[in-house]
Each structure stands twice: as structure tokens, then as C-alpha cells.
Amino acid sequence: MKAEINNKSEIAAMPTWLRRPIGKASELSTVQRIIKQRQIHTICEEGRCPNRGECYAQKTATFLLMGPTCTRSCAFCQVDKGHAPMPLDPEEPKKVAEAVQMLGLRYVVLTSVARDDLSDQGAGWFVKTMEVIRQLNPETQIEV
């Protein structure tokens, strides 16, 4: 059985506390352009976060290190899964640091996919990325 609604007054309005602005297209495209140009990943995009517009409008993003493919298969996560992720991009730490600089970030968040295929599971990659961010952005705080 299919219900039809012909009168807009019958549809309940969304509560104001649930309404969120999606941000100006120009602000969103700035972050997306930098991410695409630098060929880096964010958990916002890879995890299909519904709130990424809000973050991008504030010129912020959470960078996803070591590629877009995770070696685990957590049911709650939207990140792509695979047992043979791509090799690490040797330029990724520099690309992320440059994106931080281009966005003028004073605070940056780094996360990663699980990389069980790496001997240190990627810990050294975090260190390398933080070092390069610090070189280009000495005042930026880093959260991992």
C-alpha cells in the first residue's frame, strides 16, 4: 500500500536544531580542489561522511594516510577494503604538508587505513608525515 501526500502542510518540518548549512560551493570546492590536485585522501571522502560539507566550509579536513584501501573489513566503516592495498606513495607526506599549508590550517588531524601488510602497521609513516608537516607548518598542531 502506497500513501500519497498531496498537501505540503502534512509533511512535518525538520527541527531547527537538526538543520545544518552545507557551506558555500566556493568554500567546499577549494578544499576538494586541493585534495584532488595533491592526490591525497581524507576520511571525509573515503568514509562518505555526511558532514564533510560543514568541515570543508571551515577549510578543514581529516587526512587519511597510506591510501584509500584498508586491510580490515570492519562492518561499521565505509572505507574500501582489500587484502592487497597499493604501495605507499613516497610523496604523500609532502603532499599532505603542502595541503595543510595551502589551507592555512593551524590544527590538523591525521588518521589512516589499517595497513596490516606493513611491518610497523604504518607507525613510521605517521612519524614521517608529521615531520614534513612540522617543516612546512611549524605553528600547526597535529592530532593523530
pLDDT at residue 61 in the model: 80
Sign of CA dihedral 80, 81, 85, 91: positive
Indicate if the pLDDT at residue 60 is higher than 90.
Answer: no
C-alpha torsion 144→77→35→119, nearest 10:
50
All three cell numbers of 48, joined, read: 562518505
pLDDT greater than 70 at residue 92: yes
Would you call 61 exposed, middle or buried from its count of C-beta atoms within 10 A (0-12, 13-18, 19+)?
A: buried
Q: Which residue has the higher pLDDT, 51 or 93?
A: 93
- Per-domain residue ranges for the chain? 23-143
Q: Give 94-136 pLDDT, tens digit per residue.
A: 999 999 999 998 899 999 999 988 999 999 999 999 999 999 9
List pLDDT tens digits, range 19-57.
766 656 566 678 889 999 999 999 988 888 888 888 877
Q: What is the DSSP letter of 87?
A: P
The whole-number pLDDT of residue 4 equals: 57
Beta-bridged to residue 142, according to DSSP, are: 108
Residue 115 CA to residue 117 CA, distance in Å, equals 5
pLDDT of residue 44: 87
Helix, strand, coil shares, percent, the chain, to 5: 40, 15, 50
Split at pLDDT 50, 70, 90, the class of 59 is confident
pLDDT at residue 3 tops 60: no
The continuous run of DSSP H or E covering 99 comes out as helix 92-103
Residue 17 has pLDDT above 60, yes or no: yes
